[in-house]
Amino acid sequence: MATPVRESALAFLKKLGVQDSAFASSGLAARSPITGETVATVRAHSAAEAGAIIAAAHEAFLTWRLVPAPRRGELVRLLGEELRAAKDDLGFLVTLEAGKITSEGLGEVQEMIDICDFAVGLSRQLYGLTIATERPSHRMMETWHPLGVCGVISAFNFPVAVWSWNAALALVCGNPVVWKPSEKTPLTALATQAIVERALKRFGPDAPPGLCALRTGDRAIGEIMVDYPRVAVVSATGSTRMGREVGPRLARRFARAILELGGNNAAIVAPSADLDLALRGIAFAAMGTAGQRCTTLRRLFVHGSIYDKLVPRLARVYGSVRVGDPRQTGVLVGPLIDAAAFDGMERALGDARAHGGIIHGGQRVAGIAGDAAFYAAPALVEMPAQAGPMLHETFAPILYVTRYQSLSEAIALQNAVGAGLSSSIFTLDMREAETFMSAAGSDCGIANVNIGPSGAEIGGAFGGEKETGGGREAGSDSWKAYMRRATNTVNYGATLPLAQGVVFDVEG
Ligand code: UN1
């Protein structure tokens, strides 16, 4: 018998350094999807407290922006060290609170460590360009400066990694970070904050008070952050519906937005594909994290010539995969986050049936925990055509599959949805692979070959186009969204030539 969820979560919270004062008799009920039980009630911040936290973060900005970037990197290096020390415990808490299988819980913390390492290096590489000027004895260059308070709104499915992608970059870029975690996952946020506090303590007085703050609460707390003038950039991860509210509100006050919204990711399996490899790639991308990643594979286009070879095999994999308590070895699919997620899955499957879909799996799996937990067999749905629920993201393990005949048809189908996060093609044909990644190919922020659409590393820029919101986080030059660019022109000569040959002589 595994240790009861509640006892285990409370023990890990204590071990990770979360103080009793974080809990209260009323506030946010933190539940575990493993059993559906309430683990603890987390104190929620009032609107006034939330405002005060942002004001303090702005004060912190005024000094943190002056700390040299490599020194700021030292704080993130210490954070990485603390995360390494806490990896097993925090990873397990992710399993308890978000329901991820243990290797995925640990993987989430590894992703936090990876972005810390990346950001430490970046703290010595916040480069601007030197640009040729048309004027003699002039120099033109650009300088990147800290931007201001960075607000982070994160979702339940990556309850701590998303914060870290933003926080690690924001901190080296000279910005304080205020975090509003998902109401569904406040415990892992509290534990992460305790880890941050340890890093801050080791770092010493160069880090001003209020530099890294956590605000727990409901939607109203997120709204305060979106509307508060001192918050210079908000990175929001969640549904497209949420992004439609947050985006315009930020635009109204000309604040920056980094939006990571819904995905409705597809894969194409071409005639030349290595089917064994495709099968494994599809299985992880579609069923991993119980279908609750933004990057989850939701639509599969299989060439007519191999459909009957691949899809029956896939159906067998769907039938054999172990659904259950994510703490158990051998389980690959854990619980859905809550009842609403299961209702959404049922609705989508009903809709698929109405559109002529043939459903393999998808039923609720009983006997794992009580009625308050929601385990579902992943569903493979053979659709006669791309229609109905296939056009929208349902945050559940449903993979719709349909046939295609030509690559251009498959690419058009793949691009014919609102979201534009991730995509992939399984092919051994170089022309097909390159076409898929070309300007005429996938319209997504991520386009992969011979791997599924999920499970990105932090080294690349992460994010997507269209209704996914256009934001980029993590690697490559995503850091630029957390800084402001100043173009500097310096005249080291004794005359004042004007650009574009303008003459403006005055007597003097
Ligand atoms: C998300 O689901 O919000 O690429 C992010 C991936 C992970 C991140 C997913 N590295 O699947």
Question: Distance of CA 417 to CAs 373, 423, 468, Å?
Answer: 32, 12, 11
In angstroms, what CA-CA distances link 434 with 120, 280, 397, 439, 464? 34, 22, 29, 10, 19
User: What are the Cα distances from residue 288, in Å, to 152, 164, 273, 296, 317?
Assistant: 25, 21, 22, 8, 13
Q: What is the DSSP string of 383-408?
A: -SSS-GGGGS--SSSEEEEEEESSHH
Q: What is the C-alpha separation between 155 and 452, in angstroms, rounded?
A: 22
Which amino acid is located at 217 in the chain?
G
What span, in angstroms and rounded, lies between the C-alpha atoms of 161 and 113? 9
Q: Do residues 452 and 477 both lie within one domain?
A: no
Which tens digits make up the pLDDT trace of 103-129? Answer: 999 999 999 999 999 999 999 999 999
Ligand 1 atom at shortest distance from the alpha carbon of 422 = 4
- Specify the DSSP element, H or E, that contains 20: none
Partners of 461 in the β-ladder: 474
In what helix (H) or strand (E) does residue 393 lie, and over which residues does it extend?
A: none
* Residue-wise pLDDT tens digits, 203-231: 999 999 999 999 998 889 999 999 999 99
How confident is the model over 287-343, as pLDDT tens digits?
A: 999 999 999 999 999 999 999 999 999 999 999 999 999 999 999 999 999 999 999
User: DSSP readout, 415-456?
Assistant: HSSSEESEEEEE-S-HHHHHHHHSTTS--SSEEEESS-S---
Q: Look at residue 198 and give its three-state secondary structure.
A: helix
Domain count, the chain: 2
Q: Are 30 and 153 in a shared domain?
A: yes
Tell me how far apart the alpha carbons of residues 181 and 461 are, in angstroms, rounded to a whole number.
Answer: 22
Mean pLDDT in residue range 426-452 = 98
In a domain, residue 501? The reply is: no
In angstroms, the CA 175 to CA 57 distance is: 9
Identify the pLDDT of residue 150. 98
Same domain, 272 and 337: yes
Same domain, 29 and 79: yes
**Tokens at 410, concatenated:** 């498959």
Over residues 472-476, mean pLDDT: 97
Q: Whose CA is nearest to atom 6 of ligand 1?
A: 455
Tell me if 497 is assigned to some domain. Answer: no
**pLDDT at site 421:** 98
Q: If you search the block for the tokens 């209020």, which residue do you land on?
A: 210
What CATH number does residue 379 fall under? Answer: 3.40.309.10
Residues 292 and 217 occupy one common structural domain: no
**What's the CA-to-centroid distance between 162 and ligand 1, angstroms?**
8
Residue whose entry in the numeric block shows the structure tokens 């007519």: 304
Q: Whose CA is nearest to atom 1 of ligand 1?
A: 294
| 164 CB within 6 A, ligand 1 | no
Same-domain check for residues 419 and 479: no
Mean pLDDT of 134-154: 98
Q: Which residues are known to be catalytic? A: 260, 294
Query: How large is the average pLDDT for residues 359-382?
Result: 97
Find the mean pLDDT for residues 20-31: 94
Both 228 and 303 in one domain: the answer is: no
Q: Which residue, judged by its Cα, is nearest atom 7 of ligand 1?
A: 455
Can you tell me the mean pLDDT for 187-208?
A: 98
pLDDT of residue 501: 95
190 touches ligand 1 (CB under 6 Å): no
Is there a single domain that holds both residue 298 and residue 195? Answer: no
| 221 CA distance to ligand 1 middle (Å) | 24
Residue 396 lies in a domain: yes
Instruction: Say yes or no: 91 and 218 in one domain.
Output: yes
Is 8 touching ligand 1 by the criterion CB < 6 Å? no
**Of 275, 297, 290, residue with least CA distance to 321:** 290
How far does residue 293's CA lie from ligand 1's centre (Å)?
6
- Identify the CATH number of the domain in which residue 245 sits: 3.40.605.10
pLDDT band at 43 (very low <50, low <70, confident <90, very high): very high
446 CA closest ligand 1 atom index: 4
∠ at Cα 262 (415, 476), nearest 5°? 85
Q: Indicate whether residue 454 lines ligand 1 (CB < 6 A).
A: yes
User: Are 284 and 368 in a shared domain?
Assistant: yes
Closest approach atom of ligand 1 to CA 458: 10
CA–CA distance from 470 to each of 321, 415, 464 (Å)?
Answer: 35, 15, 5
Same domain, 257 and 319: no
In whole angstroms, give the CA distance from residue 65 to residue 62.
6
Q: Where are the alpha helices (H) located in 218-367, listed in sequence order?
A: 219-227, 240-252, 275-287, 307-320, 339-354
pLDDT over 90 (residue 63) = yes
Q: Reduced to 3 states, what is the DSSP secondary structure of residue 404?
A: strand
- Residue whose Cα lies nearest atom 3 of ligand 1: it is 294
| Cα 359 from Cα 40, distance rounded (Å) | 38
Q: Is residue 463 part of a domain?
A: no
Contacting residues for 34 by C-beta, under 8 A, at least 6 apart: 5, 95, 96, 99, 325, 326, 327, 334, 335, 369, 373
What is the pLDDT averaged over residues 404-430? 98
DSSP calls for 57-90: HHHHHHHHTTS-HHHHHHHHHHHHHHHHHHHHHH
Residue 140 CA, ligand 1 centroid: distance in Å: 39
Say whether pLDDT at 181 is over 90: yes
508 pLDDT band (50/70/90 cuts)?
A: confident
Q: Is the CB of 395 under 6 A from ligand 1?
A: no
Q: Are 227 and 253 contacting, i.e. CB atoms less than 8 angstroms apart?
A: yes
Distance in Å, CA 408 to ligand 1 centroid: 28
Is 235 near ligand 1, meaning CB less than 6 Å away?
Answer: no
Which residue shows structure tokens 């992969």?
448
Residue 359 structure tokens: 């459903």
Parent domain of 390: 265-457
The overall average pLDDT reported for the chain is: 97
Distance from Cα 114 to the centre of ligand 1, integer Å: 14
Is 285 among the domain residues?
yes
Tell me, what amino acid is at 63?
Answer: T
In a domain, 491, yes or no: no
Strand pairing class (23-31; 38-42) = antiparallel
- Written as six digits, the tokens of 431 are 């022309």
Asked whether residue 492 is domain-assigned, the answer is no
Is the confidence at residue 272, as pLDDT, over 60?
yes
**What is the Cα–Cα distance from 491 to 315, expressed in whole angstroms?**
70
Distance CA 44, CA 220 (A): 11
**272 plus 189 within the same structural domain:** no
Q: Is the CB of 261 under 6 A from ligand 1?
A: no
Confidence tier at 1 by pLDDT (50, 70, 90)? low
Q: Would residue 115 count as lying in a domain?
A: yes
Is the pLDDT at 2 greater than 80? The verdict is no
Whether the Cβ atoms of residue 421 and residue 463 lie closer than 8 Å to each other: yes
